[in-house]
Amino acid sequence: MANFVLDLGKQVASLGVKSVYGEQQDVDGLRLIPVALTWSGFGGGEDATGNAGGGGGGYAIPVGAYIRKGDDLRFEPNLVSLAAVAIPLVWVAGRVFVRIIRALKR
In this predicted model, which residue has the larger pLDDT, 93 or 57?
93
Among 39, 34, 8, which Cα is nearest to 21's? 34
User: How confident is the model over 68-92, as pLDDT tens digits?
Assistant: 988 899 999 988 888 887 888 899 9
Q: 6 phi and psi, to 5 degrees? A: -65, -40
Q: State the pLDDT confidence band at 8, using cuts at 50, 70 and 90.
A: low
Across residues 49-64, what is the average pLDDT? Answer: 83
Q: How far, in Å, CA of 91 to CA of 82, rounded?
A: 14
Q: CB neighbours of 53 closer than 8 A, spacing ≥ 6?
A: 44, 45, 46
pTM of this structure = 0.55
Q: Does position 13 have pLDDT exceeding 90, yes or no?
A: no
Residue 83: its H or E element:
helix 79-105
